[in-house]
Amino acid sequence: MMTMSKITAKLRRKNQDQYRMLGICILLSVLLVSSFTFMFFSPTIQGFLPPGGDTRKLMWLMLGVVVIGCLIFTLYGSSLFFRKKSREFGVMLALGAQKKDLAGQLFEELTAVAAKYILLGLLLAIPASWLIWKLFRTLVINTAQMQYRIGFAGIFAGILFSAALSLSILFLGTRFIRRANIMDILNASRKTEMVREIKPWCGKLGILLVAAGLFLAIAVPQFTVRLFRQGMPTVWNAVYLLCVAGLYLIILSAVGRSKKGKNPEKYYRNIISTNLMRFTARQTTRNMCVISLLVFVMVLAAFWGVMYYCNATEGGSEAAYDYSLHYPALEHQIGREEIEALAKKYGVEFTGRILPDEDGSPQANQETKALSGYEETDSLELIVHYTGRDMNDQRQYFDVEYEKLASFLSASDFTRISGTAVSLKEGEYLTVTGTGFQENIWVSVDCLNSIEHPVTGEHMEPDFCGTVEFDNLALTSDPFAFILSDADYQKFSEGLTDQWREKHILFNARHAQVAGKTLSSDAGPEQADGTRKAEESDTLSGKKCTCNTDPSGTGGLCPAMYTQGASRNAGPSGTGGLCPAMYDFADALKREYIAHATSLSNHYGLYDAHEEALALAAGEEYSYAGEIDMSMDNTQLTGDWKYAPFSKILMQADAMEMFAVFVLLSLYISIISLTAAGIMSYIRSVTIAMDNRLLFEDLKKLGADHAYEERVIKVQLRKIFAYPVAAGCMTVGAFSLFLTYFNDMRLQAFEAKMLLMEVLLMAGISGILYAVYRLSFQKTKQIVGIALEKH
Amino acid sequence: MLQVRHLSKSYSSGNQVYPVLKDVSLEVEKGEFVAVMGPSGSGKTTLLNCISCFIPHEQGEISLGGHDISHLKEAELAKVRNRQMGFVFQDFMLLDGLSIFENICLPQIIAHRPVLQMEEKAKNICRLFGIEKIMDKYPAEVSGGEKQRTAVARALMNQPYVILADEPTGNLDSKSCKAVIDAFLQAKKEMGATIFMVTHDSFAASFCDRVVVLKDGRIYGELTRSGTRREFMDELLDTIRTLSDEALPTRNNADGRTASGRTTEGQRASGQALGGDNDDNE
């Protein structure tokens, strides 16, 4: 018996391809977003992201992008569904069906499809996120802390997205019905749109707008801060819209403009495909713009992952000492004997280090440049009065006079521990910076106005004598650590108890090898990169130690990768070689150091005892007061703790962990953007084929052979794929270049390397989209009947 | 049965307004088979779309079965379309996912008519149009003529006051064209159907009782069949020639006379000038 519901059910069965396509879009969207939220909101990832930090903000931003990307491609898929459905609707309306009846039927169908595929997507998101996590643990990082856990927030976010997606699709359905007009529906396939004449300057203006938008958004705020000490308001970011407008003009020009020019043969060869595009120019351009933006996000997400990692691992990698500890002199911390015992236990021994020249080769004068394996020194904690800068709510920068404690070393102590001879006269000081330090807006290296003895109150107004790079000290004092002449140091140390002193322990260590063959400075052949080759077996594990040997050609990655409680390890020389024993030693050292720490050192990173005293005296609350969680489980310990121990190997391991988390998330965003761009391009290609089926019939009647028709399709699809990818890649390339250059007004070698890496990423992404192009090409040929007729 | 009085319709593009129908009035009697012909851009399809209420018009009145249908609401219009009008489109507009039989049943399914009665009626109509053998096939499996006969059968399912056909033979070969015209004639004879057909095919129009000729949005003239079909076709072809001659720029055009010297406006036309295709979707 035939009823309306049976008829619609039959139509649904017959047109199941349309429903399946919509369903797959929903499934993919829910799967990608939910698996992302499962990971993003997992207690493990949340534990890694510092609260209120930039990384967390960036991740939220990326989550927003993921959600928008998925919404776009799903809504695009649903618009194709409605387009196909319109014929059915037109016939029904012409035969007298009521709009409200059709609406009810459509909502019923949409709800059924959405419910089915959303449920499937949510269920599949669990194994998908688990598999990706597992893959990361296998390929990138494998630590006890990287446990797969799903939090309720992740599931809730996935469900919330699914609900928003369903509502958006239903909204589109409502709009489709409300706008349904029989004439439009009946003529839908004949409907074309035409943009106004596209002026020759359109594309050039587009390029100019993109460049101007990027310059205004990235460079101008840096200039205003530097020149006028005025930051740009948040609304200034709206200048990015210039880039979007520029992108639109570039693509519009590419799509809609064609002229004979100097190559009339080419013009006539492509005349059909060019004109096909021109007839749907507005729609095609809009579509391509979205794909361009997706390409932009996709490359940027991947690039940021790489950049973040490089920044993280660069910090401290240039330090002269692989390990450095600093703590209040009153605290009974771990000492040389205990460190040596620990080193012995892990088969590690202190080793000297030859400082390389600037060109990387060992220095000729080894007597002055050789560092001993282990050094200790004291620093004075003196009150400094300096001028720094702060920013008000109007984003205006203004000078602030600060008064707080900072670390001071004597010139001779510094020469001893750093191997860099410094000599200062009385009344002079040097500022210690990290390697490659670039001045920022907040404080300058010559900021000191005066130094005050914390007990006697004696003042000195020192003369700035320059800076000296030494990463191990630069990390221990805010705004900087300073060096005084021996005489001044002696003068200020008089009357100072241990309350105003800090101890510093610095050492280098390497994994000892069997049979007394060690990797000390006088043993073993040195490789070109300054590292030494280990040829003996690892005494601890019984396995061949692969430190610095890189037998697998994997770029220094250790095949004996840690599986329990450890990350991949940086080698003893910090070159990226890996050694499990070294990691164990660093980990044990950190554990011991924490065990020895008392309330004397239990302070936040920016805590300052003098500032606290001033605040309390003024009856104000001191914001950096309070204790931190001094435990191995605290993933934020390095950032939070004023006296956090430094070791290159752990720092790189931490960076690797953060990198893994970041790459995991940013790669996911890339995958989502890529999926969205691929689906949109594919759908666009299919739509073009469907819309122009009659045109291909006409071409046949005009005597066009298969080769000609194939060419028409190919030229058109090539544009659909190539233009947005090219526009997106060029924009993201310019964006990255501007961002890296204007950040500190220079382009460092590693930044140039990263930009090159970005180009490689672009090439990879283009390759994947090329595969989608081939797929679309085959499908398009099938639709217009070329593929079938050939058989 | 169908009355159109002082109908005017124009399209606008930017600031430009293009009048398409100018004060058109016509009437179709019950059981009459009327064709509308005219050159491209004369307003044939626009007239049909206005009568179908697919597009609104600015002035005039359209009544069907004695009721004004010009100002009906969406829901009322849907009922009129379902029960009082039947449509036949140039490109058939059959649903590919439904069989021929199901497509024919669709108007009654939409109207929630009793199933047994509906199926019985659909079978009878299939028999009448000689498509009972293809009842279980799908549109993709049958010929163009069979598709259009299916569309005619579908249009007749609810016994509408009028069948509105837009270039029903436009996509068909001569054999299929004849089969479709036969279907219309059969519907008129057996079921008393009233048919209003827009066409540029003089062969198809020659089977009609009356042909209304449109030119530049106005009724140019009417031809009523009195003799044989062949004689009627000759008359139509004469009118075509006259209209074609008028389209040529001559000195005489200035005073409203044709190249052959005959007065056209207000007179009964004797033929038509045909555009190449159905392109008056102004």
Task: Give the pLDDT score at B65.
Answer: 86
- The domain in which residue B38 lies consists of 2-77+85-93+162-255
Mean per-residue pLDDT, A659-681: 77
The verdict on residue A516 lying in a domain is no
Instruction: Kindly state the tokens that stand for A602.
Output: 């239990």
| Residue A388, C-beta contacts closer than 8 angstroms, at least 6 positions apart | A399, A400, A402, A442, A443, A447, A479
CB A670 within 8 A of CB A764: no
How much of chain A, in percent, has pLDDT values that exceed 70?
A: 79
The verdict on residue A55 lying in a domain is yes
Query: What's the sign of the alpha-carbon dihedral A588, A589, A595, A601?
Result: negative
The verdict on residue B205 lying in a domain is yes
Give the model's confidence band at A3: pLDDT under 50 very low, under 70 low, under 90 confident, else very high. Answer: confident
> How many Cβ pairs within 8 Å bridge chains A and B?
86
Distance from C-alpha of B258 to C-alpha of B244, rounded to nearest angstrom: 10
Task: Give the pLDDT score at A53.
Answer: 64
The verdict on residue B31 lying in a domain is yes
**Optimal mutation site among A95, A178, A186, interface B, most CBs of chain B within 10 A:** A95
- The domain in which residue A33 lies consists of 1-190
Neighbour tally for A135: CB within 10 Å = 11
Distance from C-alpha of B47 to C-alpha of A364, rounded to nearest angstrom: 99
The verdict on residue A102 lying in a domain is yes
Q: Tokens 């209304």 identify what position? A: B212
How many domains, in total, are found in chain B?
Answer: 1
Q: What are phi and psi of A271, to 5 degrees?
A: -60, -40
DSSP, res B251: G
Torsion from C-alpha of A116, A118, A122, A125, nearest 10 degrees: 110
The verdict on residue A31 lying in a domain is yes
Give the model's confidence band at A309: pLDDT under 50 very low, under 70 low, under 90 confident, else very high. Answer: low
Mean per-residue pLDDT, A407-432: 93
Q: What is the pLDDT of residues A136-165, one digit of tens each?
A: 677 656 666 667 777 888 889 999 999 999
Residues of B in Cβ contact (< 8 Å) with A181: 54
The verdict on residue A613 lying in a domain is no
Instruction: Kindly state the tokens that stand for A386.
Output: 């300096």
Task: Give the pLDDT score at A445.
Answer: 92
Residues of B in Cβ contact (< 8 Å) with A92: 106, 110
Task: Give the pLDDT score at B158.
Answer: 87
Q: Which residue has the higher pLDDT, A777 or A7?
A: A777
Q: What is the pLDDT of residues A252-290, one digit of tens each?
A: 888 877 666 677 667 666 777 776 776 667 777 877 888
The verdict on residue B211 lying in a domain is yes
Residue ranges in chain B whose pLDDT is less than 50:
250-282
CB A385 within 8 A of CB A460: no
Distance from C-alpha of B91 to C-alpha of B88, rounded to nearest angstrom: 9
Residues of A in Cβ contact (< 8 Å) with B115: 1-3
How much of chain A, in percent, has pLDDT values that exceed 90?
A: 26
Instruction: State whether B102 and A96 contact (CB < 8 Å).
Output: no
Radius of gyration (C-alpha) of chain A in whole angstroms = 33
CA distance A194 to chain B (A): 13
CA distance B139 to chain A (A): 13
Span of A208-212, A496-500, A646-650 with lowest mean pLDDT: A646-650
Nearest by CB: A95 against B54, B102, B110: B110
Torsion from C-alpha of A43, A47, A52, A55, nearest 10 degrees: -100
Instruction: State whether B98 and A10 contact (CB < 8 Å).
Output: yes
Tell me, what amino acid is at A103? Answer: A
CB A484 within 8 A of CB A408: yes
Whole-number mean pLDDT of chain A? 79
The verdict on residue B173 lying in a domain is yes
Rounded to 10°, the helix A648-691/A281-314 angle is: 170
Give yes or no for a cis peptide into A479 (omega within 30° of 0). yes
Instruction: State whether A186 and B79 contact (CB < 8 Å).
Output: no
Query: What's the sign of the alpha-carbon dihedral A51, A56, A61, A64?
Result: negative
Residues of B in Cβ contact (< 8 Å) with A182: 52, 54
Q: Which residue has the higher pLDDT, B256 or A242?
A: A242
Instruction: State whether A11 and B83 contact (CB < 8 Å).
Output: no
Instruction: State whether B109 and A3 contact (CB < 8 Å).
Output: yes
| Residue A147, C-beta contacts closer than 8 angstroms, at least 6 positions apart | A44
Instruction: Kindly state the tokens that stand for B22.
Output: 């100018």
CB A231 within 8 A of CB A224: yes
Instruction: Kindly state the tokens that stand for A35.
Output: 């698996």
Burial class (CB in 10 A: 0-12, 13-18, 19+), B56: exposed
The verdict on residue A623 lying in a domain is no
Task: Give the pLDDT score at A369.
Answer: 43
Task: Give the pLDDT score at B192.
Answer: 87
Residue of B nearest to A186 (CA): B93
Instruction: Kindly state the tokens that stand for A25.
Output: 């879009």
Distance from C-alpha of A335 to C-alpha of A376, rounded to nearest angstrom: 10
Distance of CA A299 to the CA centre of its chain: 10
Residues of B in Cβ contact (< 8 Å) with A14: 96-98
The verdict on residue B67 lying in a domain is yes
Rounded to 10°, the helix A749-784/A693-701 angle is: 60
- Interchain CB contact of A4 with B (< 8 Å): yes
DSSP, res A326: E
Span of A16-30, A90-104, A297-311, A425-439 with lowest mean pLDDT: A297-311
Task: Give the pLDDT score at A671.
Answer: 79
Give the model's confidence band at A781: pLDDT under 50 very low, under 70 low, under 90 confident, else very high. Answer: confident
Q: How far apart are the first and last CA of chain B?
A: 27
Q: What is the pLDDT of residues A729-775, one digit of tens each?
A: 999 999 989 988 887 778 878 788 888 888 998 999 899 999 999 99
Residue of B nearest to A15 (CA): B97
The verdict on residue B54 lying in a domain is yes
Burial class (CB in 10 A: 0-12, 13-18, 19+), B279: exposed
Rounded to 10°, the helix B174-191/B144-156 angle is: 20
CB B4 within 8 A of CB B26: yes
Residues of B in Cβ contact (< 8 Å) with A10: 97-98, 102
Task: Give the pLDDT score at A179.
Answer: 74
- B51: CATH: 3.40.50.300
How many domains, in total, are found in chain A?
Answer: 2
Answer yes or no: is pLDDT of A653 > 80: no
Give the model's confidence band at A540: pLDDT under 50 very low, under 70 low, under 90 confident, else very high. Answer: very low
Residue of A nearest to B101 (CA): A2
3-state secondary structure A596-632: HCCCCCCCECCCCHHHHHHHHHCCCCCCCCCCCCCCC
* Dihedral class, residue A557 (left if φ above 0, else alpha if ψ from -120 to 50, else beta): beta
Instruction: State whether B102 and A10 contact (CB < 8 Å).
Output: yes
- Interchain CB contact of B225 with A (< 8 Å): no
For the stretch A152-156, contacts whose Cβ atoms lie closer than 8 Å and that sit 24 or more positions apart, written own/partner, are: A153/A37, A153/A41, A154/A34, A154/A37, A154/A38, A154/A39, A154/A40, A154/A41, A154/A42, A155/A34, A155/A37, A155/A38, A155/A122
The verdict on residue B189 lying in a domain is yes
* Dihedral class, residue A576 (left if φ above 0, else alpha if ψ from -120 to 50, else beta): left
Task: Specify which residues A504 forms β-bridges with.
Answer: A326, A377
* pTM metric for this prediction: 0.63
Distance from C-alpha of A789 to C-alpha of B76, rounded to nearest angstrom: 48
Residue of B nearest to A181 (CA): B54
Q: What is the pLDDT of residues A208-234, one digit of tens each?
A: 999 999 999 989 988 888 888 888 888
The verdict on residue B154 lying in a domain is no
Domain's final residue, options A475, A498, A521: A498
Q: What is the pLDDT of residues A59-110, one digit of tens each?
A: 787 778 778 878 877 887 888 788 778 878 888 888 888 888 888 888 888 9
